[in-house]
Amino acid sequence: MTTAPRRPHEPGDPVTLDARRTEAVHPGHADLDQLPLPALVQVFVDDQQDAVRAVQAAAGVLEDVVAAALPRLRAGGRLIYAGAGTSGRLGVLDATELTPTFSWPPERAVPLIAGGMEAVRHAVEGAEDDREAGAADVRAVCPGTDDVLLAVAASGTTPYVLGAVHAARAAGALTVGIANNPGTPLLDAPHLAVLLDTGPEVISGSTRLKAGTAQKIALNTISSALMVQLGKVYGNLMVDMRASNDKLQGRAVRMVRHATGADDDAARTALAQADGHVKTAIVMLMLHVDVAQAAARLTAAGGHARLALNAP
């Protein structure tokens, strides 16, 4: 018996879809390819609001993540990121930006991405399906009890990421899962689970859109809140940066002036003596001490400028 060839699915046809919400066909954009340009752009912009709402709904658990990670980082632990595809690239981005922004040691922000660093620019097909590779990559960086794994996967089912979680947890690290679908393994396997329920994408299944945006916001929130708690910020100034180029030198001078009320010449002189370190220059000027005394006060205060300034 011969079977007639199947015709392409038409709108309204019953179609068996993936149960994951990020893989669903968005019900509101069946005519996306026919929209005039202004309407098309507005659709993409408006849909990003769902990313913000998803992170807002997860604020309580993000607070729990920061609270659990903080003592581990204070004890010398590392942030280890694990992901594949867009999620992996966002982990690489967050890890990389901690050093220029907060002078966080690069060896204490370890990004792992399925397929290795080649996958940052080129898709490595099938790498995300290798659960043992995720576990092996984690074991290769020798996680310990002071380390924190941030495992990110929009689907919540990526084998590479699940392998990373299980290996990190077995080694005693704190494990955090960040996923965009409820009821998925990545929200069951780790110590703490962050659901960013962004729903279907405007372009069906393209989780580089609002799912990725929500992940970026969540990672920014976790790492930035940790850096504030670790004394990398004074007021809302990123005072642990070093002025390593013309743009940053200008920014450093403005921050020192803003924090201390010093004039331009005094700010530049203090920064030169402090090797471009904003926090040290601020303590020098506020307390009228030399660079060695400022550095000693900051060390005694655990790196917190406000504590150094208020110490007897």
Out of 10, 23, 63, 97, which one is annotated catalytic?
97
**Cα dihedral angle (128, 108, 101, 285), rounded to 10 degrees?**
170
**The tokens of 121 are what?**
């620019």
Planar angle of CA 144, 145, 147, nearest 5 degrees: 70
Cα-based distances in Å from 158 to 85, 113, 127, 130, 288: 10, 12, 10, 9, 55
User: Of the residues 10, 63, 125, 128, which is catalytic?
Assistant: 128
Q: Taking the CA of residue 259 as centre, how many other CA atoms within 13 Å lie in the half-sphere pointing to its CB?
A: 29
Q: In angstroms, what is the C-alpha Rg of the chain?
A: 23
Residue 63 known to be catalytic: no
Quick one: CA torsion of 139, 145, 150, 151, rounded to 10 degrees? 50
Diameter of the chain measured on Cα atoms = 94
C-alpha distance from residue 242 to each of 207, 239, 273, 278 (Å):
35, 8, 12, 7
* Structure-token match 């799912």, residue found: 211
10 catalytically annotated:
no
**Which run of H or of E encompasses 264?**
helix 264-273
Q: Give CA–CA dist 37/265, Å, rounded.
A: 51
Angle formed by the axes of helices 37-47 and 49-57, nearest 10°: 0
Which residues are CB-neighbours of 254 under 8 A, at least 6 positions away? none
Catalytic residues: 97, 128
